[in-house]
Chain A
Amino acid sequence: MPDRREIDIEVMRYNPETDSEPYIQSFRVPFDEDTSVLMGLQYIKDHLDGSLTFRWSCRMAVCGSCGKMVNGVPKLSCKAFLRDYYPGKLRIEPLEHFPIVRDLAVDQTDFLEKLEAVKPWIIRKDEKPLSEGTYLQTPEEVSSYLQFSSCINCLLCYSACPQYGLDNSFTGPAALSLLHRYNADSRDEGKSERMPLVNSEEGVWGCTLVGYCSEVCPKQVDPAAAVNRGKVNSTMDYFLRFLTPRGGVDS
Chain B
Amino acid sequence: MQVVSTDVAIIGGGGAGLRAAIAIAESAPELNVTLVSKVVPMRSHTVAAEGGSAGVTTEVDTLDMHFHDTVAGGDWLCDQDVVDYFVSRCTEEMIQLEHWGCPWSRQSDGHTSVRNFGGMSTARTWFAADKTGFHMLHTLFQTSMKYPAISRLDEYFACDLLVEDGRCQGLLAIEVATGDFVRVESRAVIMATGGAGRVFRQNTNAGILTGDGMGMAYRHGVSLRDMEFVQYHPTTLPGSGILITEGCRGEGGYLTNKDGNRYLQDYALGPVVTEPTPKTMELGPRDRLSQAFWHEQQKGRTITTPLGPAVHLELMHLGQRKLTERLPFIMELSKTFLGIDAAKQAIPVCPSVHYTMGGIAADGTTATALPGLYACGECSSVGIHGANRLGSNSLAELAVFGKLAGENAAAFAREQSPTTSSSLQSAADAAEARALAILARQDGSERLASVRDEMTQTMSDGIGIYRTADGMQATCDVLDGLVDRLAHVQLDDSNRAFNTEWLAAIELGFSLDVARAMAYSALNRRESRGAHVRLDEYDERDDHQFLKHTLATYEADAPPRIAYSGVNITRLPPAERVYGAAATATGDAANA
Contact = CB atoms under 8 A, between A and B. Distances in A.
A153 B141 CA distance: 12
A122 B99 contact: yes
B146 interface: yes
Nearest to B448: A50
Contacts of A192: none
Interface in A1-23: 1, 15-18
A163 interface: no
Interface in A149-190: 149-150, 152-153, 178, 182, 185, 187-188
A246 interface: no
B96 A130 contact: yes
Contacts of B96: 130
B146 A119 contact: yes
Interface in B1-49: 39-40, 42-45, 47-48
A109 B101 CA distance: 24
Given A51-B495, A57-B39, A127-B99, A63 B48 contact: yes
Interface in B478-508: 491-493, 495-501
A138 B177 CA distance: 45
Interface in A48-75: 49-51, 53-65
Interface string B101-123: 10111111111100000000000
Contact of A62 (B47, B101, B106, B307): B47
Contacts of B412: none
Interface residues on B, range: 35 or more
Contact of B177 (A33, A101, A188): A101
Interface string B85-109: 0000000100110111101111111
B572 interface: no
Contact of B493 (A50, A112, A136): A50
B500 A53 contact: yes
A65 B101 contact: no
A105 B155 CA distance: 12
B108 A138 contact: yes
Contacts of A47: 449
B429 to A, nearest CB: 23
Contacts of B240: 34, 59-60
Contacts of A102: 177, 497-498
B477 interface: no
A121 interface: yes
B131 interface: yes
B247 to A, nearest CB: 15
Contact of A120 (B106, B107, B145): B145
Contacts of B112: 134
A56 B207 contact: yes
A119 B45 CA distance: 24
A65 B496 contact: no
B208 interface: yes
Contact of B101 (A33, A150, A185): A185
A63 B43 contact: yes
Nearest to B501: A50
Contacts of A250: none
Given A115-B145, A134-B95, A150-B131, A15 B495 contact: yes
Contacts of A65: 39, 43
A57 B43 contact: yes
B538 interface: no
Majority SS at the chain A contact face: loop
Contacts of A49: 492
B135 interface: yes
B82 interface: no
A42 B172 CA distance: 28
A79 interface: yes
B81 interface: no
Contacts, number: 163
Nearest to A134: B98
Given A120-B145, A130-B99, A187-B101, A60 B243 contact: yes
Contact of B497 (A59, A101, A112, A116): A101
Contact of A137 (B44, B110, B242): B110
Interface stretch (A139-147, A196-204, A221-229): A139-147
B101 A122 contact: yes
A127 B449 CA distance: 51
B239 interface: yes
A59 B206 contact: yes
Given A47-B449, A58-B45, A153-B42, A137 B206 contact: no
A110 interface: no
A122 B100 contact: yes
Contact of B492 (A16, A51, A133, A135): A51
A17 B175 CA distance: 15
A75 to B, nearest CB: 12
Contacts of B586: none
A58 B501 contact: no
A107 B135 CA distance: 24
A115 B242 CA distance: 29
B58 interface: no
B332 interface: yes
A139 B146 CA distance: 27
A45 interface: yes
A133 B98 CA distance: 9
Contact of A64 (B43, B45, B307): B43
A125 interface: no
Given A51-B501, A135-B98, A146 B103 contact: yes
A25 interface: no
Given A101-B497, A120-B145, A137 B99 contact: no
Interface string B427-449: 00000000000000000000111
Nearest to A45: B501
A34 B239 contact: yes
Nearest to A56: B207
Nearest to A139: B106
Contacts of B491: 50
Nearest to B207: A57
Contacts of A152: 42, 47, 134
A61 B334 CA distance: 12
A25 to B, nearest CB: 13
Contacts of B501: 45, 50-51
A128 B492 contact: no
A140 B495 CA distance: 53
Query: Lowest 8 CB-CB distances: which A-B pairs, in order?
Result: A136-B110, A50-B492, A51-B493, A46-B449, A120-B142, A102-B498, A57-B206, A50-B501
23 contacts: A15-B497, A47-B449, A50-B448, A50-B501, A51-B495, A56-B207, A57-B45, A60-B240, A63-B39, A63-B43, A64-B42, A65-B43, A79-B336, A103-B498, A116-B145, A119-B146, A130-B99, A134-B95, A134-B99, A137-B106, A138-B108, A139-B106, A139-B108
Given A54-B500, A57-B207, 19 more contacts: A16-B498, A17-B495, A50-B493, A53-B493, A57-B206, A59-B240, A60-B242, A63-B45, A65-B39, A101-B497, A107-B177, A115-B145, A116-B145, A122-B99, A127-B99, A130-B99, A146-B103, A152-B42, A153-B42
Interface of A: 1, 15-18, 33-34, 45-47, 49-51, 53-65, 79, 101-103, 105, 107-109, 112, 115-116, 119-122, 127-128, 130, 133-139, 141-142, 145-146, 149-150, 152-153, 178, 182, 185, 187-188
